Amino acid sequence: MASRGGFSNRLGFIAAAAGSAVGLGNIWKFPYEVGENGGAAFLVIYLACAFLICLPIMLAETAIGRNTRLNPFGAFNKIGNRKWGLVGLLGVLSGIMILSFYNVVAGWAFGYFIQIGFGGLLSKGVNYAEYFGGFVSDITDNLLFSIGFMVLTALIVAGGVQKGIERWTKILMPLLITMILGLISYGLTLDGAMDGLSFYLVPDFGEINANTFYTALAQAFFSLSLGMGALITYGSYVGKDDSIVGAAALITVADISIAFLAGLMIFPLVFSQPSIEANAGPGLVFVALPGIFETMGGIGPFIGASFFLLLCFAALTSTVSLLEVPVAFVTDQFKTNRKKTVYLVATFIFFVGLPTMLSQGASDFFTNFIYYGGEDKDFFTLIENVFSDLALPLGGFFIAVFAGWSWKNKGFQKELYFGNAALEGTFLEKMILFMVRFISPFVVGAIFIISVLQIFFNISLF
């Protein structure tokens, strides 16, 4: 234990896991997915996925990690068998691939921080939608910003789980929330704000189709950092006398709340600017926010730069957890030196991300990379579809099946009792078990099959 390091206490774990969960998924991805999938109806399904399906899986992941004190691959090998080890490997691979594109988007946020804070972006009178398109296809800027971001991530991970990750999360998360609350209040004073609110909060269930379900489910997994073993890895640093049940509930509530607030922030702002559509896609925050900062006059650049800086920090506590997974895998399994491993793995993942970076207009080949599901997809979309939308729910499915059905000698329940002896025999315990055994695997399994048909074969079951 001592040589692997660990969190200082339960709060340390909660802070780090919440830091992992809260990131671009909440502030960049969640709003544009709500925007593309019909607003409030998506929100409702998303909340159901998060609490009914994902929370039990979060408990399973953390329990597996703490019990084995190993990375996902090592963990499944230890308490499962070789076949289960493959689930761990899939998780490590997903971590690598998700970080490869996440780092590119984090680079965009970093770039916006620099451009607004130091490049006078808000006073240039540009059309922000066009600016965004130009920005993501400019390879020089992108290279610079994403290299910068990967270096920061690697430095923190090399510093170890406790000092780096814990400390910063505790300081920066409250700042980010304050900033979002401020922007919500400002947004509500603008014309059109009410249309934005009703789009976001008044469900129109006619908008729901198969697409809505899998997008919401995949988003819940992504946002909660589930399905690839990030929480197995973080769980491996949790002490035996800490309750993981309460911790998981807190982490889920924190993550969902911040995503919810991000929506409350964005939609009034979007609807107050006639030139911006809610279904603008991945550019949504990068297009909607600068326009608003511009209207703030003198303090606009300060507010804008601070916002994107805080977004970078939120992203950083997520990239750190993504990098930690393959690093723990390599150091546990091959007994390598931790620091060297960090730098090697980070460099490798950076290169894996290059095609993604080139796929936003810089290279024709990667921009129109592959045809499936009825249209040409860029390389970024392919990697996101395979390693985030599909691999995370698939991994989550196996994690639930393992904890619920395969872990011997009531391993899962017993692990939950540590730090929470009062759980034994309670209704809550039965509920958790029921969800992990039945609800999570069956619902995820069903939605997964629907997703594959939909994403890759364009077959819509309903």
Residues near ligand PHE (CB under 6 A):
20-21, 23-26, 98, 222-223, 225, 228, 230, 318, 321-322
Q: Give the 3-state secondary structure of residue 392.
A: helix
23 vs 411 by CB, closer to ligand PHE: 23
Residue in 383, 455, 128 with CA at minimum distance from that of residue 280: 128
289 bridge partner residues: none
Measured in degrees and rounded to the nearest 5, phi and psi for residue 441 equal -65, -40
Task: Tell me the two tokens of residue 173.
Answer: 């998360």
213 vs 222 by CB, closer to ligand PHE: 222
121 vs 327 by CB, closer to ligand PHE: 327
Find the shortest distance in angstroms from Cβ 434 to ligand PHE.
Answer: 26
129 vs 217 by CB, closer to ligand PHE: 217
21 vs 443 by CB, closer to ligand PHE: 21
Residue nearest ligand PHE (C-beta atom): 25
Dist CA 50 CA 253 (whole Å): 9
Dist CA 242 CA 72 (whole Å): 20
Find the shortest distance in angstroms from Cβ 17 to ligand PHE.
Answer: 10
Residue in 85, 352, 95 with CA at minimum distance from that of residue 229: 95
Task: Tell me the two tokens of residue 57.
Answer: 């899986």
DSSP 363: -
Task: Tell me the two tokens of residue 367.
Answer: 């921009």
252 vs 363 by CB, closer to ligand PHE: 252
Find the shortest distance in angstroms from Cβ 202 to ligand PHE.
Answer: 26
Task: Tell me the two tokens of residue 254.
Answer: 């924190």
Find the shortest distance in angstroms from Cβ 254 to ligand PHE.
Answer: 12
Q: Does an H or E element contain 375, and which?
A: strand 375-377
Beta-strand (E) ranges in 263-364? Answer: none
Find the shortest distance in angstroms from Cβ 29 to ligand PHE.
Answer: 7
| 460 CB neighbour count, 10 Å cutoff | 11
20 vs 331 by CB, closer to ligand PHE: 20
Count the alpha carbons within 13 Å of 308 in the hemisphere toward its beta carbon.
Answer: 27
Find the shortest distance in angstroms from Cβ 358 to ligand PHE.
Answer: 22
What Rg do the C-alpha atoms of the chain give, in angstroms? 21
Dist CA 400 CA 395 (whole Å): 9
230 vs 312 by CB, closer to ligand PHE: 230
Find the shortest distance in angstroms from Cβ 177 to ligand PHE.
Answer: 15
Dist CA 83 CA 77 (whole Å): 8
Find the shortest distance in angstroms from Cβ 310 to ligand PHE.
Answer: 13
Residue 337 CB-density burial (10 A; 0-12 exposed, 13-18 middle, 19+ buried): exposed
Q: Does an H or E element contain 376, and which?
A: strand 375-377
Measured in degrees and rounded to the nearest 5, phi and psi for residue 173 equal -60, -50
DSSP 371: E
In single-letter form, the type of residue at position 209 comes to N
Find the shortest distance in angstroms from Cβ 441 to ligand PHE.
Answer: 20
259 vs 289 by CB, closer to ligand PHE: 259
23 vs 283 by CB, closer to ligand PHE: 23
12 vs 411 by CB, closer to ligand PHE: 12
Find the shortest distance in angstroms from Cβ 269 to ligand PHE.
Answer: 20
Alpha helices in 4-159 (DSSP H): 10-21, 24, 30-36, 40-48, 55-68, 72-79, 82-118, 128-136, 139-158
Find the shortest distance in angstroms from Cβ 135 to ligand PHE.
Answer: 20
